């Protein structure tokens, strides 16, 4: 078994066009939630989201490649390029690319293409769809394009498990590098879900907020959709040290579980199992962890359930944890959520700063942990976990430690 480290991270989020700007906004508690500008507001019930604005695909892709890429793949590629550039890794060296894995999660896939094709077919009664519709909308397209971009011939696939997709991708990539199945990996998640069909479908579930995202607060009114991508470079500690790479954090464990219960209502026991398994997999005692990046969707059911799960997994140490939900700033990016939130976990470990839960109002008696309300907190962070809990009862938690 190898020790696995993160040497690069890239992101495209509503908070910024890269990981550094996104992390800076999280530290400052700046929210990117506002009126949706990409859809007709008159068609929407609430009309708020966290959009990636001012993203110009032509600035990143030439005319020959762009027709192949849905927005979901564009985000993934831009994030992957940033991660690889930061890591300084050379996939051609020593044949590294022959056995580098690519695992990119997405809860929906190419929804922009899907929505446009349905509008054309049903709304405009036009039976002729774009010939590249399938290759643009398939959920594995981001992973495939990343592999093509860097010439990577190792295992490459997508994970599709709703809001846990990114953390499942990170977990699979980590386990492959740790076990030696892959020499290195690019892993993360991507989502471009702010389309008319998707937003209307979420509105129909009656879990959407009409003002902003207020996780764990008594005033919370529901979740807010977001979009974006996050990708990291994983490699063995030995390889990173041999090439003199800057190590951002050590990836030490991952835990996964299925509630095997309700298709939507979360389970305290199922979530706690995933946390406990991540700690065990990472060789961490509860007392070793200082920060929990919470799933924290701001829905009435999720926040109290996650609070109880954290208490069940950490016992008395739960009262000494700093817990925050950065969804209060960048919204819920569904299948990309865990990858975007890894920016926060890595930043906390590197800088000794825990990002806040923004928009926090009054404490909810059912949510009784330390949620770092509204203002970031400077504190040493030795180890951190990041939670993702998805519809379908699919849970995935990743554990990181400060760089060795």
For residue range 265-317, list pLDDT tens digits in order: 999 999 999 999 999 999 999 999 999 999 999 999 999 999 999 999 999 99
Give the residue from 215, 242, 269 where a domain finishes: 242
**Domain at 167, CATH number:** 3.40.47.10
Task: Let me know whether 282 and 232 are in one domain.
Answer: no
Question: Which residues are bridge partners to 256 per DSSP?
Answer: 396
Check 145, 168, 239, 295 and give the catalytic one.
295
pLDDT for 94 equals 84
Task: Let me know whether 87 and 201 are in one domain.
Answer: yes
Number of domains in the chain: 2
In a domain, 209, yes or no: yes
Which residue's structure tokens are 């564009």? 74
Residue 374 vs residues 151, 207, 310: alpha-carbon distances, Å: 43, 23, 21
Instruction: Share the mean pLDDT of the chain.
Output: 97
Task: Let me know whether 131 and 209 are in one domain.
Answer: yes
In a domain, 247, yes or no: no
Task: Let me know whether 224 and 262 are in one domain.
Answer: no
In a domain, 250, yes or no: no
Spatial distance between the Cα atoms of 400 and 386, rounded to a whole number of angstroms: 8
Task: Let me know whether 57 and 173 are in one domain.
Answer: yes
Task: Let me know whether 94 and 9 are in one domain.
Answer: yes
In a domain, 344, yes or no: yes
Task: Let me know whether 236 and 262 are in one domain.
Answer: no
pLDDT at 367 > cutoff 90: yes
Task: Let me know whether 298 and 354 are in one domain.
Answer: yes
For the segment 211-259, what is each residue's pLDDT rounded down to a tens digit?
999 999 999 999 999 999 999 999 999 999 999 999 999 999 999 999 9
Closest CA to 184 of 142, 240, 230, 144: 240
Q: Rounded to an integer, what is the distance from CA 238 to the centroid of its chain?
A: 27
Spatial distance between the Cα atoms of 63 and 97, rounded to a whole number of angstroms: 27
In a domain, 366, yes or no: yes
Q: pLDDT above 70 covers what percent of the chain?
A: 100
- Whole-prediction pTM value? 0.98
Catalytic, 2? Answer: no
Give the residue from 207, 242, 277 where a domain finishes: 242
Spatial distance between the Cα atoms of 49 and 362, rounded to a whole number of angstroms: 23
Catalytic, 175? Answer: no
pLDDT at 363 > cutoff 90: yes
Catalytic, 168? Answer: no
| 3 state SS of 302 | helix
Check 145, 213, 332, 367 and give the catalytic one.
332
Q: Rounded to an integer, what is the distance from CA 29 to the centroid of its chain?
A: 18
Are residues 339 and 229 in contact, defined by beta-carbon separation less than 8 angstroms? yes
For the segment 304-357, what is each residue's pLDDT rounded down to a tens digit?
999 999 999 999 999 999 999 999 999 999 999 999 999 999 999 999 999 999
Task: Let me know whether 40 and 138 are in one domain.
Answer: yes
Give the residue from 209, 242, 275 where a domain finishes: 242
Check 163, 193, 213, 367 and give the catalytic one.
163
In a domain, 320, yes or no: yes
Task: Let me know whether 105 and 145 are in one domain.
Answer: yes
DSSP state of 374: S
Task: Let me know whether 103 and 171 are in one domain.
Answer: yes
Task: Let me know whether 70 and 215 are in one domain.
Answer: yes
For the segment 47-101, what is each residue's pLDDT rounded down to a tens digit?
999 999 999 999 999 999 999 999 999 999 999 999 999 999 999 988 999 999 9
In a domain, 351, yes or no: yes
Each residue of 338-356: b (16+ CB within 10 Å) or e? bbbbbbbbbbbbeeebbbb
In a domain, 249, yes or no: no
Domain that holds residue 14: 4-242
């Amino acid at each position: 078994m190898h020790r696995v480290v993160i040497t690069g991270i890239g992101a495209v989020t509503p908070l910024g066009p890269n990981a550094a700007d996104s992390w800076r906004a999280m530290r400052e508690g700046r929210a990117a939630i506002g009126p949706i500008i990409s859809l007709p507001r008159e068609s929407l019930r609430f009309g708020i989201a966290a959009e990636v604005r001012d993203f110009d695909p032509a600035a990143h892709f030439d005319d020959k490649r762009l027709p192949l890429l849905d927005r979901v793949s564009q985000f993934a590629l831009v994030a992957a390029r940033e991660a690889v550039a930061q890591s300084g890794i050379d996939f051609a060296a020593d044949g590294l690319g022959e056995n580098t894995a690519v695992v990119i999660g997405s809860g929906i896939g190419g929804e922009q293409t899907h929505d446009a094709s349905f509008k054309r077919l049903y709304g405009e009664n036009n039976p002729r769809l774009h010939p590249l519709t399938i290759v643009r909308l398939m959920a594995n397209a981001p992973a495939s394009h990343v592999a093509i971009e860097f010439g990577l011939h190792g295992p490459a696939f997508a994970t599709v498990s709703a809001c846990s997709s990114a953390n499942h991708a990170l977990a699979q990539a980590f386990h492959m590098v740790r076990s030696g199945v892959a020499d290195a990996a690019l892993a993360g998640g991507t989502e471009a879900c702010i389309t008319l069909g998707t937003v209307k479908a979420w509105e129909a579930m009656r879990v959407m907020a009409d003002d902003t995202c207020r996780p764990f607060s008594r005033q919370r009114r529901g979740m807010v959709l977001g979009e974006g991508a996050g990708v990291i470079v994983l490699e063995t500690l030995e390889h990173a040290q041999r090439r003199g790479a800057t190590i951002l954090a050590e990836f030490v464990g991952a835990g996964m579980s299925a509630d095997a219960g309700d298709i939507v209502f979360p389970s305290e026991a199922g979530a706690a199992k995933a946390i406990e398994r991540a700690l065990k997999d990472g060789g961490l005692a509860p007392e070793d962890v200082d920060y929990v990046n919470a799933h924290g969707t701001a829905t009435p059911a999720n926040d109290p359930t996650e609070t109880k799960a954290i208490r069940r997994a950490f016992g008395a140490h739960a009262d000494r944890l700093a817990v925050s939900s950065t969804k209060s700033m960048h919204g819920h990016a569904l299948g990309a959520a865990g990858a975007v939130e890894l920016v926060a976990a890595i930043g906390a470990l590197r800088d000794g700063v825990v990002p806040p839960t923004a928009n926090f109002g009054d404490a909810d008696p059912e949510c009784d942990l330390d949620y770092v309300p509204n203002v970031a907190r400077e504190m040493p962070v030795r180890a951190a976990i990041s939670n993702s809990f998805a519809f379908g009862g699919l849970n995935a938690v990743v554990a990181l430690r400060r760089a060795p």
